[in-house]
Amino acid sequence: MKTLLIGAAGQLGVDVADAFSDTELTTADLEDADLRLDLTDAEAVTRLLAQELRPDLVINTAAAHNVPQCEEQPEVAFAVNATAVRHLAAACQACEARLIHISTDYVFGRGGTRPYTEADLPAPLNVYAASKLAGEHLIGAECDNHVIVRSSGLYGAAPCRAKGGRNFVRMMLHLAQTRPEVKVVTDEILTPTYTVALAQQIRVIAEQAEPGLYHATCNGACSWYEFARAIFEETGTETALLEATSDDFPSPVKRPGYSVLENAHLQAQGLDVMPHWRDALKAYLAASPE
């Protein structure tokens, strides 16, 4: 299988590259990859897919996902997350490649009280979420053999470039070492998802899943506060962990208070291999102890 991975130097991309390392893999990114590729350069994307590589599978993990920056620069968010994705989907259709594209739980809005399935209606609250949802629609319009994978709360060993390098786990451990107390919100509920687990799920999807929309997160749900408490428990970290709400951290960006996803489509096909979020955290800490 000839595979092209776009966004290969990112937090998820690094683990996806490992999961597909036994294929004929070409990595692409703005840096630290086999090829330098600007996803917004439609001509370069078309030339790479249709003339140079002609891959069987294209996996796109690239995105403009610094949420505050997307709010300040909506034109950039839509250029990367929507317009560029449309060109990529059209190029995949032209060369008959399967496209797997990573989307987000943020496409859902206020008022959630139960896990969202793929059948639930999105209602994005911010520019980032709206641009990602637009990308989903444009992929569906341009490429028949496409898979959209929504996930949530990603963390992994590779640095998160949009967040200054530290993922939530490392940030909590850093704060515990440098501050007398740590405050974390209780009113944002999600499912933290380990990128190694998601990469392995993407491999299963690539080989076995029918085209369409999939939710793929770790199983279970927790608040950011509960996740922080689990991090400290698993690492034996003693610190004063205090409950807070989103009102304690004012932000111009609207975020969903509940964005738990149910892997309903995967489960219906017997393809859900995602672990519980607590087990995934243990695996991450065992693999990345420092």
Query: Is 214 in the active site?
Result: no
Q: How far apart are CA 13 and CA 132, in angstroms?
A: 17
Cα separation, 31 vs 50, in Å, equals 22
Backbone φ, ψ for residue 6 (5° rounding):
-100, 135
Cα–Cα distance measured from residue 42 to residue 91, given in angstroms and rounded to the nearest whole number: 9
> Beta strand pairing status for 222-223 and 189-190?
antiparallel
Given the residues 106, 116, 128, 225, select the one marked as catalytic: 128
Give residue for tokens 């949530």. Answer: 152
Residue/partner pairs of 243-249 with CB below 8 Å, 24 or more apart: 243/183, 243/184, 243/186, 244/183, 244/184, 244/185, 244/186, 245/185, 245/186, 245/187, 246/185, 246/187, 246/188, 248/183, 248/185, 249/185
255-286 burial code (b ≥16 CB/10 A, e <16): bbbbbbbbbbbbeeeebbebbebbebbeebee
| DSSP assigned state of 121 | P
Q: What are phi and psi of 180, to 5 degrees?
A: -70, -20
Euclidean distance between CA atoms 14 and 199, whole angstroms: 9
**Which residue, among 113, 190, 130, has the nearest Cα to 155 in the 3D structure?**
190
- Catalytic residue numbers read 128
